[in-house]
Structure 1
Amino acid sequence: MPIPAPVLYPPFNIVRLSHVEYRVQNLAKSRAFYVDTLGLQVTAEDETSIHLRALEERGHHCIILKQADTSDVGVLGFKLYDDPDLDKAADWFSARGLPVDWVERPHMGRTLLTRDPWGIPLEFYVKMDRLEPIHQAYKLYRGVRPLRIDHFNMFSANVDASVAFYTEMGFRTTEYTEDADSGKVWAAWMHRKGGVHDVAFTNGRGPRLHHTAFWVPTPMAIIDLLDLMATTGWVENIERGPGRHGISNAFFLYVLDPDGHRIEIYCSDYQTVDPDLEPIKWDLKDPQRQTLWGAAAPKSWFEHGSGFDGAIVEEPALRAQPIIAP
């Protein structure tokens, strides 16, 4: 199935991805991972939740950690351009028979909560509390020195359908992997903010969140994080990397938080702002698509993911499989 043409004038204007809510079973242990190890900054905290931001971000938070009995994902958040876009988004989702609720969120203005057709909980907002800049407060640069949230990658049981739906919302495909035998898309990378992706979809049991990624200043930040994790009790949480992707050209590392939520540390992709930029096609059997250099991805990388609250996970229709490390 060919990649659909981009919708250059979408029904509402998504600026970028914004935040994720992780449910965690030990808030103190999660704090030690995200704050003391990765280096995210606490912006609000109580006995049931912690709000975090990265070092370049002026919005109040990019991650919400919530104490819970289960380890899953509460919502994926996206920023819209202006207030009328919220009402346009509500009308658009409602016209497709999808839920529309106006919810109250701490540190955020009017917020629309909905779901995509496969049950992924999505929320849209325009205004979030703005904080003072800290990007030049170098005494705060610890751990991997995360600068900003970069993207979400989701397992999808039908990547072609996911790409078609998110294209309607205005996401543009930058790169994709095709299974030559079936002609179906095995994975796709889609953006709003002018990087390689804000969202990506990977064939697998879904919907589940494969990972959330953070942009860092240099590959050396990743090496420093590896040294830190290896000497502070987190070495078993290093899952894959470092290495470089063929897709996106990014230098990467994948780690798991205490609940098994996967975090990618990421730098060195490229600009995609031109509206007529053609997507790059990769063959599923090309070993350099996922790993330009470095060890091949382990089996866990293709199988493990975080469930979404309220979503029913289904097996993928496409059974094709890329190269897996032994």
Structure 2
Amino acid sequence: MPVTRPVLSPPFNVVRVSHVDFTVTDLEASRAFYVDCLGLIVTDEAADKVYLRAIEERNHHSLILRRAEAPGVRAAGFKVASEDDLDRAAFWFDSQGLRAEFVERDHQGRTLRAIDPVGMPIEFYFRMESVPSMLQKYSAYRGARIQRIDHVNCFTPDVQASHDFYRDIGFRVTEYTETEDPDPKLWAIWMHRKGNVHDLAFTNGRGPRLHHIGMWTATPMDILHICDVLATSGYLKSMERGPGRHGISNAFFLYLRDPDGHRLELFTSDYLTADPDHEPIRWTLRDPQRQTLWGHPAPKSWFEEGSFFDGTEVLEPVLEAQPIVAR
């Protein structure tokens, strides 16, 4: 069985996914999409970058938009539990022969940048500048009324290798998809640290590439409301998939593409997974309810297109397997 027992005493303590650092070609257009339409809050901005957060978030940012010549992703960021965990992480990466170094990041304390075994850039930090939560400032609720970052989902050329690496640093499996072969292989995996369905997910494909960043809304009505907003504010074509409900995670969802093609999922209605003996749910690749409990099937673009990590080589997947694709 390719899914193995979790490591409950990992070498360092990751708390949750924290932020994603995007490069965009038209900063003004991206700002209009994320702020004026979707309702994210600007914490800080300059001529070449904008720092955004959602309503309940108390850290300085969960999404960075940086002006660049080409769209891309600089890194996915994770918060750890203490400064000591950063030192433990640096020691662990070195012991595994994996590249890691401390770097300077605006509005953050010490930040450890590392490269995982399939080449994905990831960053860990403990301290970030604090900002007031807007949770009870209801006049700030705009657009999709997004509450917080929830997860990142990535294409990986080797789902098993990604599972093994993130299991070793304490991520626990909640759901997974296998092929139906006599010797089944992992096709996708959902893993968490914070006690819901996922902080991090991996899907088989050309990678590493970012499939999407998931942002949590309080209710399905928030997602239905933003559909009306998108349809009447010039962003109808940004709606790639949904609304609908996943079988995996039970999520009520809507997938959007920003002006540079970066994919965003608006997401709610998943479930608690905090118990350390939580048993993961197995899905087969050909189960039609796996990706869509109800709603239109995922389009071909959803399986093939993603955002490139800056300076990262993209590899072909080791597994040849085909999911159900909308015609």
TM-score category of the 2 structures, normalised to the smaller one: over 0.9
In the alignment, is the contact (CA less than 8 A) between 2:156 and 2:208 conserved in 1? yes
Following the alignment from structure 2 to structure 1, what is the Cα–Cα distance between the partners of residues 31 and 95? 40
Specify the code of the residue in structure 2 equivalent to 1:63: L
User: Are 2:126 and 1:126 equivalent residues in the alignment?
Assistant: yes
Specify the code of the residue in structure 2 equivalent to 1:213: G
User: Are 2:135 and 1:135 equivalent residues in the alignment?
Assistant: yes
| TM-superposed deviation, 1:322 | 1.2
Q: Matched residue of 1:29: which SS?
A: helix
Following the alignment from structure 1 to structure 2, what is the Cα–Cα distance between the partners of residues 215 and 122? 21
| TM-superposed deviation, 1:2 | 2.1
Give per-residue Cα distances to partners, 1:162-204, cap 9 Å, x unaligned.
Answer: 1011100100000000001251010000000001000000011
Which deviates more, 59-68 or 223-232?
Answer: 223-232
Q: Matched residue of 2:288: which SS?
A: coil
In the alignment, is the contact (CA less than 8 A) between 1:54 and 1:148 conserved in 2? yes
Give per-residue Cα distances to partners, 1:260-313, cap 9 Å, x unaligned.
Answer: 000000000000000010110001110001000000000000000000112111
**Which residue pairs with 1:43 in the alignment?**
43
Specify the code of the residue in structure 2 equivalent to 1:127: R
**Which residue pairs with 2:93 in the alignment?**
93
Describe how 1:43-192 pairs up with structure 2 within 5 A. 43-181=43-181, 182-192=183-193
Following the alignment from structure 2 to structure 1, what is the Cα–Cα distance between the partners of residues 162 and 52? 29
Following the alignment from structure 1 to structure 2, what is the Cα–Cα distance between the partners of residues 264 and 175? 18
Describe how 1:216-255 pairs up with structure 2 within 5 A. 216-255=217-256
| TM-superposed deviation, 1:319 | 1.3
Runs of 4+ in 1 over 6 A off after TM superposition: none
**Which residue pairs with 1:290 in the alignment?**
291
Alignment gaps of 5+ in structure 1: none
**Which residue pairs with 1:11 in the alignment?**
11
Following the alignment from structure 1 to structure 2, what is the Cα–Cα distance between the partners of residues 105 and 222? 33
Which deviates more, 103-112 or 6-15?
Answer: 103-112
In the alignment, is the contact (CA less than 8 A) between 1:254 and 1:264 conserved in 2? yes
Q: Matched residue of 1:260: which SS?
A: coil
Following the alignment from structure 2 to structure 1, what is the Cα–Cα distance between the partners of residues 258 and 219? 22
| TM-superposed deviation, 1:315 | 1.0
Following the alignment from structure 1 to structure 2, what is the Cα–Cα distance between the partners of residues 2 and 208? 22
| TM-superposed deviation, 1:139 | 0.7
**Would you say how many aligned residue pairs link Structure 1 and Structure 2?**
326
Q: Matched residue of 1:113: which SS?
A: strand
| TM-superposed deviation, 1:118 | 1.5
Give per-residue Cα distances to partners, 1:45-92, cap 9 Å, x unaligned.
Answer: 000100000001000000000000110100110000011100000011
Specify the code of the residue in structure 1 equivalent to 2:45: E
User: Are 2:302 and 1:301 equivalent residues in the alignment?
Assistant: yes
Q: Matched residue of 2:290: which SS?
A: coil
Aligned-pair RMSD on alpha carbons? Answer: 0.7
Q: Matched residue of 2:47: which SS?
A: coil
Following the alignment from structure 2 to structure 1, what is the Cα–Cα distance between the partners of residues 267 and 226? 12
Following the alignment from structure 1 to structure 2, what is the Cα–Cα distance between the partners of residues 261 and 86? 29
**Which residue pairs with 2:22 in the alignment?**
22
Q: Matched residue of 1:154: which SS?
A: strand
Q: Matched residue of 2:291: which SS?
A: coil
Following the alignment from structure 1 to structure 2, what is the Cα–Cα distance between the partners of residues 118 and 308? 12
Following the alignment from structure 2 to structure 1, what is the Cα–Cα distance between the partners of residues 260 and 144? 19
In the alignment, is the contact (CA less than 8 A) between 2:117 and 2:161 conserved in 1? no
User: Are 2:34 and 1:34 equivalent residues in the alignment?
Assistant: yes
Alignment gaps of 5+ in structure 2: none
Specify the code of the residue in structure 1 equivalent to 2:245: R
Q: Matched residue of 2:20: which SS?
A: strand
In the alignment, is the contact (CA less than 8 A) between 1:118 and 1:311 conserved in 2? no
**Which residue pairs with 2:212 in the alignment?**
211
